[in-house]
Structure 1
Amino acid sequence: MTTSHYSGFELDRPGSLIAAVPAVLGFVPEMSLVLLTMDRGDLGCVLRIDLSEDMSEQVAHLAEVAAAAQPEGAVAVVVDEHGAGCHPCNDDYRELAELLMEELASWGIDLLGAHVVDRVAAGGRWHCADGCGRGGVIEDPSASPLAVAAVLDGRRLYTGRAELQAVIAADPLRSAALADAVAATAQRCSPMSDAEACAAIGEARAAAAHVADGGQLADEVAVRVGCALRDVRVRDTLFALAVGEDADRAEALWVSLARILPAPWRTEALVLLAYSAYARGDGPLAGVSLDAALRIDPVHRMASMLDQALQSGMRPEQIRELAVTGYRLAEQLGVRLPRRRQIRRRAG
């Protein structure tokens, strides 16, 4: 499931509403059920699940997650490339809309509309899922006010889920090449002294700067930093980088490590990447990173906590407060971190 949120948008024109989905979701959905929640006329939490033959459990969970934000209502968008002109499919769409309406109603949420669209792109066509007879053409998603706002906020819009997953795609050859060295180093550097933890934090920051400037991460550096991330003090201190002036550099390092470190060390890089993405408002990247981390370690404490926060619709400005712990740990270790950067608050 993917979640995101935004507020301050009119929801009375389906063609315009559907065109805004990529901007608020972070990527162009395909073969998906997208649920957009509303509260006092504003667009709130946006959730997505894959279409499948039996969606009963998925829809029930979708409604439960949506209810966490206590919205007044919701609008559903079914993205199905076979949707336009597929008359035999209309009964399936109607049944899906009715199932979603029942599940939402059990949480006190009104389903205000359900639309089917063949593609979320300029010229795509939509119609009502319940056979009301309404329909129309999708406006240009790139011209959506929310797409413009996303660009101004510095958020990346992915062309599809495949592009999103490619960001963290593992490099199996390099991971295999590093496996023995990481395992051997991990035995030598655990537990870490205060001095070793300080040195590891410094090396991680230097590596982040090197990678962000286009440098190749040396194997020995990747091994040392990857092992150090298993130390809770090091990892939790480095969470603070997500809200600091070097946030972009740190995220570049987490992406690189997530691709090349073998499991279980890859988990910590994925969690740091997830937090960094979440803190800057990139819910889709945070979501796929957490999915990958929890597949490696289903009981990982921080990954589970962030995943729960993301699915419940907690806003980035709230999640950024977790970085306070990192600054406090840095002070205890005698490490100086970059200053917190000022982030422009979005309207609504």
Structure 2
Amino acid sequence: MTTQPRGFDIGRPASLIAAVPAVLGFVPEHSLALVTVDAAELGAVLRVDLSPDLVANTDHLAEVVGSAAPDDAIAMIIDEFGADCQACGTDHEALADALTRSLAAEGVELLAVLVVDRIAAGGRWYCADGCGAHGEVDDPEASPLAAAAVLDGRRLYRRRADLQQVIAVTDADRGARLAAAIASRGEVRRSARTAREAVHAAMSTAARLADGTEPGDGELVSVVCALGDPRVRDTLYALAVGDGAAAAESLWALMARTLPPRWRPDALALLAFSAYARGDGPLAGIALEEAVRIAPEHRMAVMLDSALQSGMRPEQIREMALSGYRTAAKLGVRLPPRLAFGQRAG
């Protein structure tokens, strides 16, 4: 559930709409957003693109929402032309009716369906069922949830495409070069000593990146090859909850943008775990979507994706890092002390 800061009023549509970008991490456009509500508190936000076949697929959306067993839900249809398009209004009513039925089947009451032209200061909203309620959207940048997100160290993006750039491949030629170098290494069997050295090398690479020194091809190849050892991989997941977590996350993001497709899922899963652990569900979701697209059988990515969709809280995900600390102890690796979240060190 999203922590509800002082000054936020879920009962005001103008305030609720303005809070959505802070929860999603970006400003949604041409989208359907479903906001869950528990005991009058803001829960999770699910977003999908508006499309002609969405009305026929509301059952799946309702299953995802219902898996977290919220009390109620509120839907927002973000459509730039919705306020002035008579035909659009008919489509939105059909979508509202379908959502109401699908959510009811999951035991969730749909409290309202709001149509919004844009989530920005001065944007307009009205209720889709013709109840007559309408108004202007509050300034999203002034939302108490936006301020809370910034204090938590989360970056807010103007649009989803900007968030996707965090993991977008930037240098295909370098990726091909890395693929050849990785293939030339072959399979490496590691002793406890060499596994320990691989973990230390990855941590050093992350620290140098945080200081402004981008890793060379050889360093990236070494980290990729080391991830083939489950002991190394499990230990590196634990970096998400330790001092220096931000440095490790920067390395995983760089690798996600740089590695050839076959080796991207491991980096994407590490990035997603780190983002999820600190409460950045939007970045975790983008990374997991890409990881599962490339490798549907990737166990960690699939598990994290299921956890995210079911509404598992970040503190539960952070507990998974304990196994990484245990593995590190067996290898003789001294990991940085665990963070008290809300205070993110880098």
| TM-score using structure 2 length | 0.95
Structure 1 counterpart of 2:27: 28
- Given the alignment of the two structures, is residue 88 of structure 1 paired with residue 77 of structure 2, yes or no? no
- In structure 2, the residue matched to 1:278 is 276
Q: Deviations over 1:213-264 (max 9, x none)?
A: 1112100001111111122111111011000001000001001111111122
Q: Which stretch shows the higher mean deviation, 247-256 or 193-202?
A: 193-202
- 2:304 pairs with 1:309: no
Does the 8 A contact of 2:4 with 2:145 survive in 1?
no
Query: How many angstroms apart in 1 are the aligned matches of 2:161 and 2:324?
Result: 33
User: Please, which runs of 5 or more residues in structure 2 have no aligned partner?
Assistant: none
In structure 1, the partner of 2:37 is 38
Q: Which residue of 2 aligns with 1:165?
A: 164
Q: Distance in 1 between matches of 2:180 and 2:57?
A: 40
CA–CA distance in structure 2, aligned partners of residues 193 and 72 of structure 1: 52
Tell me if the contact between 1:93 and 1:129 (Cα under 8 Å) persists in the aligned partners: yes
Q: Give the letter for the 2:298 counterpart.
A: H
CA distance in 2, matches of 1:68, 1:123: 35
Q: Does 1:118 align with 2:117?
A: yes
Shift of 1:145: 0.8
Of residues 98-107 and 259-268 in structure 1, the stretch that sits farther from structure 2 once superposed is 259-268
Q: How does 1:144-223 map to 2 (within 5 A)?
A: 144-171=143-170, 172-185=172-185, 187-189=186-188, 191-223=189-221
| Aligned mates of 1:283, 1:58 — CA distance in 2 | 23
Residues 55, 94 of structure 2: 8 Å contact kept: no
Residue 173 of structure 1, CA deviation: 1.9
Say which of 259, 264, 279 aligns to 1:261: 259
Cα distance in 1 between the residues matched to 2:255 and 2:286 = 15
Q: Does the residue aligned with 1:127 lie in a helix, a strand or coil?
A: strand
Give CA-to-partner distance per residue, 1:20-52, whole Å, 9 cap, x none.
100111111111100001111101121111111
**Per-residue deviation, 1:122:** 0.6
Please, what is the CA RMSD of the aligned residues?
A: 1.3
The answer (yes or no) to whether the contact 1:294–1:303 under 8 Å persists in 2 is: yes
Runs of 4+ aligned residues of structure 1 deviating over 4 Å after TM superposition are none
Name the CA distance, whole Å, in 2 between partners of 1:269 and 1:69.
28
What is aligned with 1:128?
127
Return the alpha-carbon distance in structure 1 between the equivalents of residues 328 and 272 of structure 2.
21
- Count of aligned positions: 340
Residue 43 of structure 2 aligns to a residue in which SS?
strand
Alignment deviations for residues 60-100 of structure 1 (CA, whole Å, 9 cap, x no partner):
22111111121111100011111121122111000001100
Structure 2 counterpart SS, 1:77 = strand
Does 1:73 find its partner at 2:56? no
Conservation of the 8 A alpha-carbon contact between 2:268 and 2:291: yes
Tell me the residue number matched to 1:51: 50
Structure 1: which 5+ residue stretches go unaligned? none
Aligned to 1:61: 60
Identity across the alignment (%): 57
Partner of 1:334: 332
SS class of match (2:103): helix
Q: Note if contact 1:16-1:144 (Cα within 8 Å) is conserved in structure 2.
A: yes
SS in 2 for 1:265: helix
After TM superposition, the score normalised by the length of structure 1 is 0.95
In structure 1, what is the equivalent of residue 250 of structure 2? 252
Counterpart residue identity of residue 248, structure 1 = A
Alignment match, 1:320: 318
Residues 91-110 of structure 1: matches in 2 within 5 Å?
Answer: 91-110=90-109
